[in-house]
Structure 1
């Protein structure tokens, strides 16, 4: 036990007395087994990791941030460093050279439910929007979509797990004020039976539904087809083998 304690003390003393040059030599000897290509790949991966961390910080901030503000969260961020250069050309970042500030650029710069409704309303051909594309916006898509759907401002198409998949602007909301007299008159209407309904429509000059008219036409076509396809069988056996469409001349005449 005493031998182990002595060893630990010697190692601790050695670490405390290690000079910077000795530490660099130690790291160099430790990394000597790593090839230059591996070292560059590791360095590039580290840079990209920092870039992603900065982008996540900008998205959370939801406003432009200066380089000094970014350095408060990511210390290794320098104006002449590779991370800075990556951000100035990144598609998800807006860089303002005048103020040297960075801001997150979502696919859709929609920040309020009203902006979402207006965007959907302006889509051509009453098209919709895939909910997945809103994930990187500044909206809490789950609660916003639920509220807009509840108030009938948008229409929602759900997937098999009952999750919103596509959303559309509701051009025809169902809530309309109907006069009470109109409701009473509507409820008092009696629908006649089918024969009487047909006669009433004919007297009023109204056309019946296309499906009903088409069904009657199909029934007539079937009857005509049956009549046309009827075949008369010849039962006189002495006429078998004779073509009645030609003039018959008995043999030997």
Structure 2
């Protein structure tokens, strides 16, 4: 299984179909003399095998050959809200460069992680880019958002009401009263048993 994984990883990182000689030379895995490995590789869902040229190539989820293909794909996903970057990493070797180029020309919008790595890609539709006056942008930036503790008062001052939160009172169910165990007194009617404690199990003397 490790040999199969090695070959698939090589094809995943390779640019285009690879011949048997190239695979053996680069991975040190002799797939030609290993029929079981050959069959598993040729029938793998993520691998395209050309029996005429005897070449293998990785079959990614999306067919991307350049940044134009990437832009078309992201644009087609606009109605779905965008694309996850990790789903594209295996589709194109130079996906990172393509993303940065499209982001640099503002053709796509990129949501990044804390360390600056792409996380989500969105098509930047020019029809939705409304021109904003500089004065309006300045006024918008000067608006301060009230602190969470001061927010209810600020809303009240503005004539707005906060959402009422109703707390559901939990009524504790009454616990059934446990009857107290009482030591019942045993009335001895036979005087010849007066010296025996009848509250204890009787153990005959040996």
Match for residue 17 of structure 2? 64
Following the alignment from structure 1 to structure 2, what is the Cα–Cα distance between the partners of residues 142 and 217? Answer: 47
Deviation by residue 1:144-177 (Cα, 9 ceiling, x = unmatched): 2222112110011223333221001111278899
What stretches of structure 1 move > 4 A for 4+ residues in a row? 173-177, 215-218
What per-residue deviation string (whole Å, max 9, x for no partner) do you get for residues 75-128 of structure 1? Answer: 522266111011012122111223322111122221211110011111251521
Q: Deviations over 1:118-141 (max 9, x none)?
A: 111112515211011122122433
Partner of 2:35: 81
SS in 1 for 2:40: helix
Q: How many residues align?
A: 139
Bigger helix share: 1
Show CA shifts across 1:168-196 (max 9, x none): 1111278899xxxxx9xx98xxxxxxxxx
What is the CA–CA distance in structure 1 between the aligned matches of 2:84 and 2:70, rounded to whole Å? 12
CA RMSD, aligned part only? 3.3
**Higher relative contact order at CA 8 Å, sep ≥6: structure 1 or structure 2?**
2
Alignment gaps of 5+ in structure 1? 1-47, 178-182, 188-214, 219-253
- Structure 1 176/139 Cα, relative in aligned 2: closer, same or farther at 3 Å? farther
- The equivalent position to 1:172 in structure 2, one of 115, 126, 131, is 126
Partner Cα separation in structure 1 for residue 105 and residue 19 of structure 2: 40
Q: TM-score, normalised by structure 1?
A: 0.46
Contact persistence 1:64–1:103 (CA under 8 A)? yes
Unaligned segments of structure 2, at least 5 residues: 136-157, 162-206
**1:116 corresponds to:** 70
